[in-house]
Amino acid sequence: MAVDVQLFTEIGECPGEVLVFAQGGYLSWLEVCSWSDDVEVNLAAARRWLQPPS
């Protein structure tokens, strides 16, 4: 695993994480994991939560 990043919503909840795997210096797998039944965690939500506030 190359990177493991916890996801935090706008209100500070941590509903999941993103796992990035690399092989030979290239992306080999991207996984978005949900730990919550209350907050939908998907790739679009993960992207939004990983963006710096504007």
Q: Which domain holds residue 39?
A: 3-50
Q: What is the pLDDT of residue 1?
A: 81
The counts of H helices and E strands in the chain are: 1, 3
Q: Which pLDDT value is given to residue 49?
A: 94
d(CA 2, CA 10): 26
What pLDDT does 46 receive?
95
Report which of 21, 27, 19, 23 is spatially closest to residue 43, judged by C-alpha positions: 19
What's the confidence (pLDDT) of residue 45? 95
Which tens digits make up the pLDDT trace of 3-54?
A: 999 999 999 999 999 999 999 999 999 999 999 898 999 999 999 999 887 7
Q: How many domains does the structure of the chain reveal? A: 1
pTM of the full predicted structure? 0.81
